[in-house]
Amino acid sequence: MQAGNILVSELQLGQRLNQCVREGNKSEFDLLLSMLSTDVGDQDQFSTINTVESEQATSLRAQFDVPQAQLLSSRESSQQDYSMSLADLAREEGLVAARLQHCLRPDVLHFDVDRIEGFTDDVTDNLSPTIEARLLGQDFTKNKPHINFDEVIATQKDYDAQLFVA
């Protein structure tokens, strides 16, 4: 590695990215682009702010007795049972009672029941159907019909014979 190619600042990285685009150097462009993170929390100036804000938020939540935030996605069966009980409550006691219970303890918005264990959604969404079926333990191979070649050859000979007769 040459000493002149070492990146020291974000400005140099931006210049190298522009140069790679001009030269059409896709491999170096991909390498440099992979060095960037889409998460702002990874940057040093924001990491300390997040820890202070989270401590203040928990103390304010406790001070004002605010319930925990609503879960957006869950895989727990207890959460599914709670959502079903809200539906039963609405049927038996009315929508007002179900709404009050939902305000006191909100139910989950989405149940992720078909997610593959150990992999995040962005990984499994990009898998081919065969790999996804293998991870789910399903058999993705198609059953090929049994071909009797003797019958195929006999049928072909009969067809050829009909062509010559006609």
- Note the pLDDT of residue 1: 41
d(CA 49, CA 34): 25
Is a pLDDT exceeding 80 seen at residue 98?
yes
Confidence of residue 116 (pLDDT cuts 50, 70, 90): low
Q: Is residue 11 part of a domain?
A: yes
| Token pair listed for 142 | 């198609």
Does the pTM surpass 0.85? The reply is: no
Confidence of residue 163 (pLDDT cuts 50, 70, 90): confident
Q: Is residue 48 part of a domain?
A: no
d(CA 128, CA 119): 14
Torsion of CA 150, 154, 156, 159, to 10 degrees: -160
Q: Is residue 68 part of a domain?
A: no
Domain tally for the chain? 1
Is a pLDDT exceeding 70 seen at residue 85?
yes
Q: Is residue 156 part of a domain?
A: no
Q: Is residue 30 part of a domain?
A: yes
Q: Is residue 15 part of a domain?
A: yes
Is a pLDDT exceeding 80 seen at residue 91?
yes
d(CA 138, CA 127): 14
Greater model confidence, 26 or 108: 26
Confidence of residue 134 (pLDDT cuts 50, 70, 90): confident
Query: Residue 143, Cβ neighbours under 10 Å: how many?
Result: 6
- Note the pLDDT of residue 40: 62
Q: Is residue 92 part of a domain?
A: no
Domain that holds residue 21: 1-37
DSSP state of 163: H
Q: Is residue 42 part of a domain?
A: no
Considering only CA atoms, which of 72, 68, 54, 69 is closest in space to residue 121?
72
Angle 26-34/10-23 helices, nearest 10 degrees? 150
- Note the pLDDT of residue 114: 59
The listed range with the strongest mean pLDDT (34-43, 68-77, 84-93, 109-118) is 84-93
